[in-house]
Chain A
Amino acid sequence: MLKRAIIPALSVATLAVLAAIGLTQPSDSQPLPSTAASLSTPQAGEADVVKRGRYLAVLGDCATCHTKAGGRPFAGGRPIQTPFGAILSANITSGGLGDWTPDQFYRALHEGIDDQGKHLYPAFPYPYYTRMTRADSDALLAFLKTTPADRTDVQTDILPFPFNLRALLIVWDALYLKAGEFRPDPAQSAEWNRGAYLVEGPGHCGACHTPKSALGGDLTSRRYQGAVLDNWTASNLTGNPRFGLGGWSTDDVAEYLKTGRNAKSNVTGAMAEVVAFSTSQMTDADVHAIAVYLKSLPTMDERPAPALDPATLKAGEAIFVDQCSACHRMNGQAVARYFPPLPGNANAQQRDPTTLTRIILRGARSQPTAARPTPLSMPAYDWKLNDAEIAAVATYVRNSWGNRAPSVTAAQVQAVRRKTAQAAG
């Protein structure tokens, strides 16, 4: 009787909480406001190694992929989109990893091979985790073994033939896995080396921000040049001043990662979870180290400026004045850290306009963090503007106030509209 009584009550409470986070994003796993902080907060009397492992779970952003919407932290079951289909993340609670040895865990991180000797899919980013130290690997496992046991046996083999043949990964690993721990560069500062370890190791930034080959491996010649993933543009992190991080100072990068906002941008979309569960929970020193390393990445040349249709720009301006200027202001400057300024905005000027188009179509919610708790949001325009109108206003934003980027076509808008329709419900 008691159980029956409590379940509907909980479901009402859950609904209230879900409503409370103001879902405007079609993402299947918006972090609950209080979850991220509670995962990263050490428990009273926690052993040092566990404390260290808890922080490594933050650095590795484990909770984001290994927690499904409404599920227990680390219990897995969240679909991870890959070019070959969705796979489900594994249960890494003490219930899922209970009898793993430190050697087995280290092998999984370093070689992508599990306790049964099976090859793991690289959606689990072992090509990055391979750079983690043995001590960090042991600490992470020690922490995961303290998480409440969840016995859910997630069926992770759901890819279609031939991708269900894990033996094929031997070939993939030969092509893309460079196993081996991180080796510091003695020519660089300790802070740079810490940043490099975090970015190239547990932080696995390149997993989204580096373009992929047809087989899903990193195109190492184009490191951090941005990629489209799950209908978001993971932005370019090179030193290009227009669409990379060239226009951001080291402090800008650190503030963005720590608070989710800075003078240039507000975090939303797929990166919102990374900020909520990982970077906002990091120490200021680590966030700054990441910024130092990212700011040292080489720049990337621009291609020649594309030709623009003056009629499209004019139409775009009219739409901007009517629909956008209340928050973004006529000069696009908006209010930094409240509503993102558009002049110099790197997201707006990515060569691939998927993120910009998606935000106009579906709206965007600025990820709340402890430092910036307000979920300031942009509304969806999918019902109010057609493809040609969104293309025009996006083109206008990409080419005004000093911005330069290729035009957006109605066909591109239509494609993003179609691909994000199901997710938006």
Chain B
Amino acid sequence: MAQTLPSVDAVLVGFGWTGAIIGQELTDAGLNVLALERGPWRDTATDYPPTYAQDELRYYWRQELFQRLAHETLTIRNNTGQTALPMRKLGSFLPGTGVGGSGVHWNGQVWRFLPSDFQARSHNLQRYGAGAVPGDMTIQDYPVTYEELEPHFDTFDYLCGVSGKAGNLKGVIQPGGDPFEGPRSREYPNPPLDMPYACDLFAKAAAGLGHHPFPHPTANVSRAYTNPLGVQLGPCTYCGFCEKFGCGNDSKASAQTTILPVLMRKPNFTLKTECEVLKVNLSPDGARATGVTYVDAAGEEWIQPAEMVILSAYILQNVRLMLLSGIGKPYDPATGEGQVGKNYAYQITSSVNLFYEDKLMNPFIGAGALGSIVNDFNGDNFDHTGLGFIGGGYVGIVHTGARPIETHPTPQGVPAWGGEWKKSIAKNYLRTTTINTHGAVMSHRGNYLDLDPTYKDALGRPLLRMTFDYTDNEHRMSDYLTEKAAGIARAMNPREIKVNGRKGSWDVVPYQTTHNTGGTIMGTNPGNSVLNRYLQSWDTPNVFVMGAGAFPQNAGYNPTGTLAALAYWSAAAIRSQYLKSPGPLVQA
């Protein structure tokens, strides 16, 4: 029998980026806040110190920092005609667990979605006519604009010490930056990282083709930085172990390196680790959350009453908790009714490898978001007339660091193993670079999340079921981006290139991005969304849901900048409106 604990003002479910942001904001407002994290405590000194942070076997291949699938996974299928099966090994995406969440092992790629990304439906209909959005493409506008989010994007940039070059300051295009980005209120807090040779070659070639290359904005700080909270990040050493790793040098922004040193000192904040929330508890009429039930590391169940419940876990967990708790109506793809689980989306990537004969690329130099990028083919930065798709993505070299176990590109025609393979790697490793494309996925009627009817987790709860596949829109768009990447690659004059397009159905391998979105989408009314414009549940107004689940569809950018801005936006509304008068912030 679960015991009931003393009530708190707010309980946070999951303690990664958004949990830390909300925790910091709500404790600043004087609330007594408790965070429950299913995974362990993590910090630089004890979990990934520089003496072994670069242990590729431990962290990547043995997945030290990722979700434990033996405890909980999800089932996967491409369409409703198939039977979903449990994913037993991580591949296509890598959700984290533990304090800091996936923000511990992210690359530090900090983007803002384009102003037009927030109006994906109305913008495309207006520019390309009614035929631009097929009937089963269920995209919709965000109920919030880029302009409204700008101050919050800015807060996150300065929290992280993002290193980059602005391309648009208050509407004035800046040389050296991204001319397509939305207007920024001020320059990045730190200058860009130094560019490696391959990125210089890319920038020259892309500019020669009339594109607009610029340095990737990065949360791998280019110099020692003290953020507005007084927390200190050390300068990046270009060690090449960001992606899938914790940063040993305190150089990559994460909850640990930007917020927790301040938040953990506060007397009105408590963190409990290895406490997994089973469900959000509701009042008998379902109109109000009364708290959560969680199970601790010893297997004991506890009832934690709370005035507010903030779901701040990874999007897949947030959606599942909504379904397990019975908040909102589950989405039904057959009827199109119900909202929870609707509009699950993802991303689509491809690449082009370049092999040089005489130029050393030293690909082991790296940082998660060290790169040269063009956004000429992202979002609606180009004319889609006649292309047969909407959306886009960025194209560029992201020099994340060619980790030796993971990285062994070989030219076309080289066998996949044996002596020839080894000889080819020895010859090419230092002389290789790769251009990546990072494309959007629109939402479609058949792509969604619900509870699996068969499979359960270690605690006996139904697994989340993912039904997802790429559509013609994604394939056409990705082929287009890949062709643009190949064009730049050729202009870089390598000995040869190898084009790795993305064909066929989506699969759980290989790795693409950990940029799952949707399922708890935000919108203008309960008929088109789970959350209102402040990330507040339409059905249960003292429940707020953070994260990329709120995205009505995905964009061609990494999501962290946008989901962090949404968290700050939501926190500002809670502080300025909700706490004064708890209740719906938008009348349905």
Residues on A close to B: CB < 8 A? 1, 5-6, 8-9, 12-13, 15-17, 19-24, 33-34, 37-38, 323, 326-327, 335, 337-339, 363, 365, 368, 370-377, 379-381, 384
Q: Is the CB of A24 within 8 A of B46?
A: yes
Q: Is the CB of A34 within 8 A of B230?
A: no
Q: Is the CB of A16 within 8 A of B271?
A: yes
Q: Is the CB of A335 within 8 A of B271?
A: no
Q: Is the CB of A373 within 8 A of B273?
A: no
Residues of A within 8 A of B91 (CB): none
Give the CA-CA distance A149 to B302 in the complex, in Å. Answer: 31
**Total number of A-B contacts with CB less than 8 angstroms?**
110
Contacting B232 at CB < 8 Å: which of A6, A33, A337? A337
Residues of A within 8 A of B232 (CB): 337-338, 372, 374, 376
Q: Is the CB of B224 within 8 A of A335?
A: yes
Residues of B within 8 A of A370 (CB): 265
Q: Is the CB of A9 within 8 A of B270?
A: no
Q: Is the CB of A372 within 8 A of B46?
A: no
Q: Which parts of B258-272 form the interface with A (CB within 8 Å)?
A: 260-262, 264-267, 270-272
Q: Is the CB of B272 within 8 A of A12?
A: yes
- CB-CB under 8 A for A8 and B262, given A23-B46, A327-B50, A377-B45: no
Q: Is the CB of A13 within 8 A of B43?
A: no
Give the CA-CA distance A38 to B267 in the complex, in Å. Answer: 9
Give the CA-CA distance A365 to B43 in the complex, in Å. Answer: 12
Q: In the complex, which residue of chain A has the Cβ closest to the Cβ of B304? A: A9
Q: Is the CB of B45 within 8 A of A12?
A: no
Q: Is the CB of A371 within 8 A of B45?
A: no
Give the CA-CA distance A380 to B43 in the complex, in Å. Answer: 15
Residues of B within 8 A of A12 (CB): 272-275, 296-297
Knowing that A327-B50, A373-B229 touch, tell me 4 more A-B residue pairs with CB under 8 angstroms: A13-B270, A17-B271, A20-B43, A335-B235
Give the CA-CA distance A17 to B115 in the complex, in Å. Answer: 42
Mind listing 30 A-B residue pairs with CB under 8 Å? A5-B4, A8-B296, A8-B298, A8-B300, A9-B302, A16-B272, A16-B273, A17-B264, A20-B43, A20-B260, A21-B264, A22-B43, A22-B45, A24-B46, A34-B266, A326-B50, A326-B249, A327-B234, A327-B249, A363-B49, A370-B265, A373-B231, A373-B265, A374-B231, A374-B232, A375-B43, A375-B261, A377-B49, A379-B50, A379-B51
Size of B's binding interface in residues, CB under 8 A: 43
B139 interfacial by beta-carbon distance below 8 Å: no
Residues of A within 8 A of B509 (CB): none
Give the CA-CA distance A374 to B235 in the complex, in Å. Answer: 15
Q: Is the CB of B45 within 8 A of A363?
A: yes
Give the CA-CA distance A370 to B261 in the complex, in Å. Answer: 10
Residues of B within 8 A of A21 (CB): 264
Q: Is the CB of B224 within 8 A of A24?
A: no
Q: Is the CB of B265 within 8 A of A365?
A: no
- CB-CB under 8 A for A34 and B41, given A13-B270, A376-B250, A379-B49: no
| 4 closest A-B pairs by CB | A379-B49, A19-B41, A377-B45, A5-B3
B317 interfacial by beta-carbon distance below 8 Å: no
Residues of B within 8 A of A37 (CB): 265
Give the CA-CA distance A8 to B3 in the complex, in Å. Answer: 11
B239 interfacial by beta-carbon distance below 8 Å: yes
Residues of B within 8 A of A33 (CB): 264-265
Give the CA-CA distance A379 to B45 in the complex, in Å. Answer: 6
Contacting B234 at CB < 8 Å: which of A13, A339, A381? A339
Give the CA-CA distance A326 to B54 in the complex, in Å. Answer: 13
Residues of A within 8 A of B5 (CB): 5-6, 9
Q: Which parts of B235-252 form the interface with A (CB within 8 Å)?
A: 235, 237, 239, 248-250
Nearest Cβ in chain B — how far from A296, in angstroms? 32
Nearest Cβ in chain A — how far from B234, in angstroms? 5
Per-position 1/0 for B266-288, Cβ under 8 A of A: 11001111110000000000000
Q: Is the CB of A384 within 8 A of B273?
A: no
Give the CA-CA distance A9 to B4 in the complex, in Å. Answer: 10
Q: In the complex, which residue of chain B has the Cβ closest to the Cβ of A383? A: B51
Residues of B within 8 A of A23 (CB): 46
Per-position 1/0 for B13-52, Cβ under 8 A of A: 0000000000000000000000000001101111001110
Q: In the complex, which residue of chain A has the Cβ closest to the Cβ of B258? A: A374
Residue of A22, A38, A327, A377 most packed against chain B (CB within 10 A): A22
Give the CA-CA distance A9 to B239 in the complex, in Å. Answer: 41
Residues of A within 8 A of B274 (CB): 12
Give the CA-CA distance A374 to B267 in the complex, in Å. Answer: 17
Residues of B within 8 A of A373 (CB): 229-231, 261-262, 265
Give the CA-CA distance A281 to B331 in the complex, in Å. Answer: 56
Give the CA-CA distance A22 to B41 in the complex, in Å. Answer: 9
Residues of B within 8 A of A15 (CB): 273
Nearest Cβ in chain B — how far from A60, in angstroms? 23
- CB-CB under 8 A for A16 and B270, given A24-B46, A374-B261, A384-B51: yes
Give the CA-CA distance A24 to B49 in the complex, in Å. Answer: 11
Give the CA-CA distance A323 to B237 in the complex, in Å. Answer: 13
Q: Is the CB of B51 within 8 A of A381?
A: yes
Nearest Cβ in chain A — how far from B365, in angstroms? 13
Nearest Cβ in chain A — how far from B264, in angstroms? 5
Give the CA-CA distance A371 to B235 in the complex, in Å. Answer: 20
Q: In the complex, which residue of chain B has the Cβ closest to the Cβ of A15? A: B273
Give the CA-CA distance A13 to B5 in the complex, in Å. Answer: 12
Nearest Cβ in chain B — how far from A24, in angstroms? 5
Q: In the complex, which residue of chain A has the Cβ closest to the Cβ of B298? A: A8
Give the CA-CA distance A1 to B2 in the complex, in Å. Answer: 12
Nearest Cβ in chain B — how far from A315, in angstroms? 19
Give the CA-CA distance A326 to B302 in the complex, in Å. Answer: 45
Residue of B40, B224, B264 most packed against chain A (CB within 10 A): B264
Nearest Cβ in chain B — how far from A312, in angstroms? 22
Give the CA-CA distance A377 to B249 in the complex, in Å. Answer: 9
Residues of B within 8 A of A381 (CB): 51
Residues of A within 8 A of B270 (CB): 13, 16-17
- CB-CB under 8 A for A16 and B41, given A327-B249, A374-B232: yes
Residues of A within 8 A of B230 (CB): 371-374
